[in-house]
Amino acid sequence: MSLEFSYRHLYYFWVVGKEGGITRAADRLGMAVQTVSTQVRELERTLGYALLKPVGRGIALTEAGEAAMRQAEQIFALGEQLPQLVREAASVPCVRLTVGVSDGVPKLVVKALLQPALEEPQLHLLCHEGEFDDLLADLALHRVDVVLSDRAAVPSATLKVHSHPLGSSELAWYAPPALAAAAKRGFPRSLAKVPVLLPTTHAAARGLLDQWFEHQGVRPNTVGEFEDSALLKTFGAGGMGVFPAVSLVHEDLTAGYGVKLIGTCEGVEERFFAIAAHRKVQHPLVQRLLK
């Protein structure tokens, strides 16, 4: 964080911008007009740009001033939240865990993967979903404590992370009741006739499924492709088509979505990883996940 300018000077400038003039800002601050003016000029000197310009008998923000004002708005809005955040932290002790979930990981699997951490009675869990590369960048910048993914991170000299296998689950096929009988008849060749839903190529499972189809000699009747695994299951359960899912969530699928198991992809397993940054002191709940 840069400390080349004074946040006190920035605050005086922010009040001037909010009040629309130095005189009104001075009245709000209970200070002399000359004092406020001097503080703002000092901020301009430090930043190297004029932030205010005369307009008629008053003043207005320059383009540089507009940019500084937008940033100041964010800074002091966060500052206003500080007392409440401190009170909450002091009154309710918690263990905060920020998890990045790759969009290729089935949503129903996430809870199972996080179960060791969920056993912490004072857990405050924050989950962010995003693309794999973006989450690795967040991990490198310590914006998340761990990333859950369906693929390992490629070793890199600039990205010092380690991929820890959490387990795997065989893929299976499920269908809404209206399609179940037709899908079971002659499975897996039936997948060339009944409507089929697949994940997009962003998911590691898609490559495995394409190889399985080629091995089976089946050209699937694909009617939909989805990046979001939850959408895939929702549209499938709604009757749009037969879809693949990991057998790890079989009970949740059949009970919660009302779908039926059609068959398995023998020899095809989806793997899951917890990706953590190399640190001398690892987050205790991340350590629990990795064990």
Alpha-carbon distance 127 to 277, whole Å? 17
Q: Which of 236, 252, 254, 229 is nearest to 191 (CA)?
A: 236
Percent of the chain with pLDDT over 90: 54
Measured between its terminal Cα atoms, the distance across the chain in Å is 35
Q: What are the backbone angles phi and psi of residue 37, rounded to the nearest 5°?
A: -60, -40
H or E element that contains 140: helix 132-140
Instruction: State residue 107's pLDDT score.
Output: 84
Instruction: State residue 3's pLDDT score.
Output: 54
Instruction: State residue 2's pLDDT score.
Output: 47
- Is the predicted pLDDT of residue 42 greater than 70, yes or no? yes
Q: Which of 75, 34, 71, 30 is nearest to 49 (CA)?
A: 71
Instruction: State residue 156's pLDDT score.
Output: 72
- Is the predicted pLDDT of residue 281 greater than 80, yes or no? no
Facing residues of 53 across strands?
60
Instruction: State residue 229's pLDDT score.
Output: 86
Question: How many CB atoms are located within 10 Å of the residue 112 CB?
Answer: 17
HSE value, Cβ hemisphere, 13 Å, CA-based, for 40:
26
Contacts of 150 (CB under 8 A, 6+ apart): 102, 104, 105, 203, 204, 205, 270, 271, 272, 273
Predicted confidence (pLDDT) per residue in 148-205, tens digit? 999 998 877 667 788 999 999 999 999 999 999 999 999 999 999 999 999 998 888 8
Predicted confidence (pLDDT) per residue in 102-122, tens digit? 988 888 889 889 999 999 888
Predicted confidence (pLDDT) per residue in 72-95, tens digit? 888 888 888 888 777 766 766 778
Alpha-carbon distance 117 to 194, whole Å? 41
pTM of the model: 0.62
- Is the predicted pLDDT of residue 282 greater than 80, yes or no? no
* Domains of the chain from N-terminus onward: 7-90 (1.10.10.10), 95-167+273-290 (3.40.190.10), 168-270 (3.40.190.10)
**What mean pLDDT comes out for the span 12-20?**
90
Instruction: State residue 250's pLDDT score.
Output: 92
Alpha-carbon distance 110 to 117, whole Å? 12
